[in-house]
A and B are shown apart, each in its own frame.
Chain A
Amino acid sequence: MFVKLFSTPNHYYCLDVNKDEFLELSFASYQYLAQILNGEEVKTMPPEEILDLKKAGYLSEKSNVKKVKHAITDYLEEFLERKLSRIILQVTQNCNLRCKYCIYSEEHSIMQRSHSSKNMSWETAKAALNFLWEHSVDSSSINVGFYGGEPLLQMPLIKQVIEYSKKLFKGKKLTFNMTTNGTLLDEEKILYLQEEEISLMISLDGPKEINDMNRVFVNGTGTYDTVMKKIELMREIAPEYAKKLSISMVIDPQNDFDCINSICLGKNDVDKLNILPSIVDKGYDGEKTVSSDIYRWKSRYEGFLAILSYLGRYEKEKVSPIALASINSEIERRFEVETSRLFEVDTPSGPCIAGQMRLFCNVEGLLFPCERVSENSKAMCLGTLDSGFNIDNAKQLLNVGALTSDACKECWCFRYCMLCCKKADSGQGTLDAAVKLSYCSESKGNAYHKLMLYLLLKEINVDYLPQMRYRVQKGEDIV
């Protein structure tokens, strides 16, 4: 039967995968389905509820999906020709840090390029902007991102890019953003970035003892003190701009969550910044990311507190901002659940429209679906600024689901899978089904967690919370 069972402290459910609907069940029905899904021999008659659901077209035996194909496939060329809205420029491959987990370090990420001192030339940057201009007629807004290496090493180029973009994209909403380690910020740069309203994201992995384990200068010394001084400087000379600063926090779940979180409790007011947590990705090392027990327990507990605080049952100030950020983003995206049944021709969720979402242009003018994929991988390369898009490659990346078609068609996680093409990169110039399938349990685990949170929020009518609180305040009985 093509369903997945869920139970919360209050209710029993099954996700009818074909219909993408949660069905609330009696305990008897839940048990009956559990037995069937476990392959047990069931001698009793199905509960009436199950028979009724079957009559109504639910609980089908097989997947609706006959063929895995992304809906955009036939129109991909149109999208890439007319609807780009973003480009991320790798302005340099050079970096003044040697972070130990860096995907470009010699010791790690064997499938990625190594550190180099190559810079993007003005000719390449200009060609990249012209390329975006030619391929964005249907986009009303444009975003140019600066990435490295360390982009602040290339300030003169960045200024040229900004000036040229303002002329080129006149008439469209134009925004810029930059991901930086922050160590090279100075007064002049801060004021310039503020003036040009560049959305700035600084990488910082936690308090000094955590951050400095990995994020180090070339000479091996930690970067924490330097980065915090730069943030202070920014607060001093550009206080409004500093409020908009984002912190990219790459979390190594081998560490103690409380220890990581302690950065938010110090005097530096890091908790007041927009923290964007992510888990360190060791995919290109051929390794899986493993969490320590202490990390898992504590992060889940903080997640629980974050949910309580969202519901107004716990003080927000006492909850880890890291947990709050990730729970809030999950809560905001709850509308994506139960929205689309499976079709005969369908694709597992996960892949973005490769190239359209966050086109990455490296120093040499090679194009990739995003900055996270390997620049050495032929499978990931979408073309060049000179030759344009390699549509066949782009279609393959878009249809990464077809690679594991048989497994995906029968998978309960079809609609909630988050595996993109990067997770199928073999490093040998091809996409590999076995590599992709090795990430399945992680993807299913994440989906399960997301759906459980969704059910919980649904049970407590989270969308009516303000009204319910108001009625409680008025002393009304809301039972």
Chain B
Amino acid sequence: MSIPVAIYPFCAEILPIVKTFNKLQESFVIKRLISPSGFGLTGHDAGYVCNHPDVGFVVTEEFNFEGKEWTTLILFEPIMIKEKIDYSYVDIAEAAILYGKQVIFFSASEEGDNKINKLSKLYSDKIEIKPYITYKNHAHNEEHKFYDMEVPVILVGGLLEEADNFEVLLKLAVKLKMENTNALVITKHPMGELFGFYNLNHIWNCTDHSEAQKINEINRYMNSLLKEKRPEVILMEAPDAVLKYNDYAVNGFGIRTYMLCQAVAPERFICCVPFELAVGEFLDAISKKFEATLGVSITSVHASNILIDMQDLKQKFDISIVYCNLKFVRQQLFKEGRQYQIPVYSVVMNGIDEVYNNLFENEC
């Protein structure tokens, strides 16, 4: 029997999890999505957060601790919200415990939340903390062998860090599961652990490793997972945006993705692109660039419904986005369709089957 859960704070990066939750695990079932009042989601269907179609959950700001609707509260630290916000985790966790609920806390900060750590010591049987970094500054393995992964490796990334990258990854994981394909999934989101996914945060955050050592370490770690899990395919999420945006909003340069691709060479790459940039010539150009930098060209594209806020970009040199109506994605796919050499889909609008078929068509 699945445990009924409430999730807080519901936000854009969690929507893909909500959409695929029941298909990727059976231990829990979502009963309530809670977000702080300021998110502006109260009373809306969860899909509204990304301007996606309804998913059948209305977001609330009420926890309803006293009710019996849910028994476990899943708290997590968002990784895509740049502003440091106090989400009152401790007060909320304490209230939940007082009403006899269980709490699972997914930490996303390197140092963790001290107050919640203290609380978990007080109520060790009630709070389970899933740390962001499982171990740190461990001894570097001096083994010099560099392993080839012996199974297909699929990279899922995007020109920007956005929720749709995660949605493509999760929906592909669902497809693979439905096809009874044993997939090893690497994600950067702490909540991936709920689905038995792995992350590389313990390596990325190692302060005493050089970049070269980190690449070696990722390779070694992936090889050990390969030996242990015997997957038929590796599905990995790019740890950062794959491309520099421009000279004043450099967008991380895609440096971690580059390192990851050095460690584990991908064979196929699904690239998420804001719909306005889903233009044939542009996609061909960046695909060539990725072939040179990441060692893999784009296999297929997911056109997301996001638009860069040019005003924020010019005023604050910051990349922020607006989730547009999906009609704009449809229009773009219709308008540019004939120009595409690389196939472009919308995974949000039922394109996952096509992405999947395109990925594995040679194997069929």
Contacts and interface: CB of A to CB of B under 8 A. Distances in A.
A82 B38 contact: no
B81 A140 contact: yes
Interface of A: 71-72, 74-75, 78-79, 82-83, 133-134, 136-142, 167-174, 335-336, 339, 352-353, 356-357
Nearest to A142: B38
A329 to B, nearest CB: 12
A396 B283 CA distance: 33
B38 A174 contact: yes
A171 B85 contact: yes
A171 B36 contact: yes
A353 B87 CA distance: 31
A187 B325 CA distance: 50
B151 interface: no
Nearest to B9: A171
A52 B314 CA distance: 34
B310 A72 contact: yes
Contacts of A142: 38
Interface string B332-351: 00000000000000000000
A34 to B, nearest CB: 31
Contacts of B82: 140
Nearest to A134: B40
A140 B328 CA distance: 23
Given A72-B310, A171-B35, A171-B85, 20 more contacts: A78-B307, A79-B322, A82-B51, A83-B309, A83-B322, A133-B38, A134-B40, A138-B320, A141-B83, A168-B37, A169-B37, A169-B38, A170-B37, A171-B9, A171-B39, A173-B83, A173-B84, A173-B85, A339-B246, A356-B311
B286 to A, nearest CB: 18
A382 B349 CA distance: 34
Interface string B309-325: 11100110100111111
Given A71-B310, A78-B322, A168-B37, A137 B49 contact: yes
Nearest to A83: B322
Interface in B25-68: 35-41, 48-49, 51
B321 A138 contact: yes
A82 B311 CA distance: 14
B25 to A, nearest CB: 27
A173 B39 CA distance: 10
B38 A168 contact: yes
A328 to B, nearest CB: 16
A78 B41 contact: no
A172 B85 contact: yes
Given A140-B320, A336-B314, A352-B311, A167 B248 contact: no
Nearest to B42: A133
A171 B87 contact: yes
B282 to A, nearest CB: 13
A75 B9 contact: no
B83 A172 contact: yes
B247 interface: yes
A230 B81 CA distance: 39
A168 B41 CA distance: 12
Contacts of B310: 71-72
Nearest 6 pairs of A and B residues by beta carbon: A171-B36, A171-B38, A169-B38, A173-B83, A172-B38, A137-B40
B325 A78 contact: yes
A392 B127 CA distance: 53
Contacts of A74: 328
B322 A138 contact: yes
B322 A171 contact: no
B90 to A, nearest CB: 15
A71 B247 CA distance: 20
A172 B310 CA distance: 21
21 contacts: A75-B307, A78-B307, A78-B325, A82-B323, A83-B320, A136-B40, A137-B40, A138-B320, A138-B321, A138-B322, A138-B323, A141-B83, A142-B38, A168-B38, A169-B38, A170-B36, A171-B87, A172-B38, A172-B39, A172-B85, A335-B317
Interface in B59-111: 81-85, 87
A170 B38 contact: yes
A83 B311 CA distance: 11
Contact of A353 (B35, B41, B311): B311
Nearest to A165: B38
A201 to B, nearest CB: 18
Contacts of B87: 171
B317 to A, nearest CB: 8
A356 B325 CA distance: 18
Nearest to B36: A171
Contacts of A136: 40
B186 to A, nearest CB: 27
A335 B40 contact: no
Contacts of A352: 311
A53 B324 CA distance: 41
Contact of A78 (B37, B315, B324): B324
Contact of B311 (A133, A141, A335, A357): A357
Given A138-B322, A140-B82, A133 B40 contact: yes
Contact of B309 (A79, A133, A336, A339): A79
Contacts of A167: 37
B46 to A, nearest CB: 12
Interface in B296-316: 307, 309-311, 314-315
A171 B49 CA distance: 14
Which of A171, A339, A357 has the most B CB atoms < 10 Å from its CB? A171
B13 to A, nearest CB: 12
Interface in B245-292: 246-248
Contacts of B323: 78, 82, 138
A291 to B, nearest CB: 28
A391 to B, nearest CB: 14
Which of B48, B83, B321 has the most A CB atoms < 10 Å from its CB? B83
A82 B35 contact: no
A140 B37 CA distance: 13
Contacts of A357: 311, 315
Which of B38, B310, B315, B322 has the most A CB atoms < 10 Å from its CB? B38
Contacts of B36: 170-172
B248 A335 contact: yes
A82 B12 CA distance: 13
A343 to B, nearest CB: 13
A356 B307 CA distance: 15
Nearest to A340: B246
A357 B313 CA distance: 12
Nearest to A71: B310
A336 B315 CA distance: 10
B180 to A, nearest CB: 39
A75 B51 CA distance: 13
A198 B41 CA distance: 27
A373 to B, nearest CB: 17
A134 B44 CA distance: 11
